[in-house]
Amino acid sequence: MKKKNRPTGFVFTKHDPKEQSPFERLFEIFQELITHTSGDFDEAIDWLRQLDKEYNLTTAEYTMDDFIEDLKKKGYIREEFRPDGKGGGKGEGKNSITEKLERSLRKRALEQIFGKLKKSTGGNHKTKYIGQGDEQAGEFRNYQFGDPLERISMTESLKNAQINHGIEGLNLSENDLVVEESMHKSQMSTVLMIDISHSMILYGEDRITPAKKVAMALSELITTRYPKDTLDILVFGNDAWPIKIKDLPYLNVGPFHTNTVAGLQLAMDMLRRKRNTNKQIFMITDGKPSCMQLPNGEYYKNSVGLDPNIVKKCYMMARQARKLHIPITTFMIAQDPYLMQFVDHFTAANQGKAFYTGLKGLGEMIFTDYETNRKRKLR
């Protein structure tokens, strides 16, 4: 019978873009706008209407009012009563986003920054230590008394038996047995610090929105791929305070200085309460430390240059975190040479890491560093 010659190599076909409904097309833009407006629905819709006038996003068959009505029907927004008692389903109340939309924003941020990742209930983090762990390492050693039977590699053991005793009869001895090593999976407790000082929106550059997206993506990553890990998020301006994951879309900057010391103190307090061996701090900032709280409760502020008192306190906090075996990874989104020098000294005091990155690629860098840190077990 004559064989057919089948083509080999790559076969290129014409790309057929996925069909999007009018709602899906508008919803994609709306999610981006609602992130920029810190969850302000009315402002996001105003921006969307302006884009509609310029780019004809809607049609006579599907209007902006239809889109808003679909958002309500699908549970992405809800209409709330006004103080005067009006509203509540008749279009007279104030529209606000729901938990369903908050989850959608986190998932979208994850897909934008990290790509689509499948959920894993067991966690995927390896340490550098081999032994009786959770994941096969591909390395073998001789069987020792006390090794669990399920760790014995039967394929390699039978091969040894044939080599040592011949193939005429099956003769398997203890000396033929080999055990496959495995990698230990570790759990990680992470605190993400986000700078919300006024400098995050200075000079016409929006730096807070990319930081929010990174936080939403990291929270979605950990809760879906690494469910045994913990993530706490705090923001720091004149002071520092924790925020919940569901509050991330509403995060905004304020007329604040940068109290890095307060942020580090709160982060270490959070991690002290965690039982995981592996702990770390991620800090996203674009400005110099310019504020700290004095023992009498007053705030000492100085925005001119690098104040030696504040800087000294920052270095002290970095060394304290090192003693607690808590590495600090700083993601610096400003490029000022004197600030980069401060971060260098801060990183050396903690023996942590620093990345000098712009807004582009911030998420990928944090993701890569998070994955890398999972392979290290801290004492």
- Per-residue pLDDT of 119-161, as tens digits, reads 444 445 444 444 444 445 557 788 888 778 878 888 888 888 8
Q: Which helix (H) or strand (E) holds 206?
A: none
Last residue of a domain, one of 73, 97, 121: 97
Q: Determine, yes or no, domain membership for 238.
A: yes
Return the C-alpha torsion angle 136, 138, 141, 146, nearest 10.
10
Same domain, 173 and 193: no
**How confident is the model over 192-211, as pLDDT tens digits?**
999 999 988 877 778 888 88
303 in Cβ contact with 257 (< 8 Å): yes
* Domain match, 180 and 193 both: no
Question: Dihedral of the CA atoms 21, 23, 27, 29 (nearest 10)?
Answer: 70
The answer to whether residues 203 and 164 belong to one domain is no
Q: Provide the pLDDT for residue 204.
A: 73
> Using an 8 Å Cβ cutoff, are 176 and 119 in contact?
no
Residue 292 domain-assigned (yes or no): yes
Place of tokens 């409904």: 21
344 and 283 both lie in a single domain: yes
Quick check: is 264 in a domain? Answer: yes
Task: Tell me the CATH number at 196.
Answer: 3.40.50.410
**Is residue 179 over pLDDT 70?**
yes
Residue 12 lies inside a defined structural domain of this protein: no
- pTM across the whole model: 0.73
Give the domain extent around 238: 188-373
User: How buried is residue 362: exposed, middle or buried, by Cβ count under 10 Å (0-12/13-18/19+)?
Assistant: buried
**Which of 142-146, 165-169, 256-260 reaches the highest mean pLDDT?**
256-260
Task: Based on the fold, state whether residues 215 and 343 are members of the same structural domain.
Answer: yes
**Residue 169 maps to a domain:** yes
156 and 56 together in one domain: no
Residue 304 included in any domain: yes
What is the C-alpha separation between 33 and 278, in angstroms, rounded? Answer: 37
Instruction: Tell me how many domains the chain contains.
Output: 3
8 Å CB contact between 214 and 368:
no
Measure the CA–CA gap between 31 and 29, rounded to whole angstroms. 5
Question: How far from 267 is each of 10, 87, 271, CA to CA, in Å?
Answer: 51, 42, 6
What pLDDT score does 214 carry?
85
Same domain, 289 and 236: yes
Parallel, antiparallel, or unpaired: how do β-strands 328-332 and 278-285 relate?
parallel
In this prediction, residue 361 carries a pLDDT of 66
38/72 same-domain check: yes
Q: Where does a domain end: 44, 75, 97?
A: 97
Give the residue from 44, 73, 97 where a domain finishes.
Answer: 97
Does 265 share its domain with 339? yes
Q: Are residues 218 and 328 both part of a single domain?
A: yes
Judged by phi (left if over 0) then psi (alpha if -120 to 50, else beta), residue 251 lies in beta
Q: Are residues 158 and 88 in the same domain?
A: no
Within-domain flag for 113: no
- Does residue 256 sit within a domain? yes
- Is there a single domain that holds both residue 346 and residue 368? yes
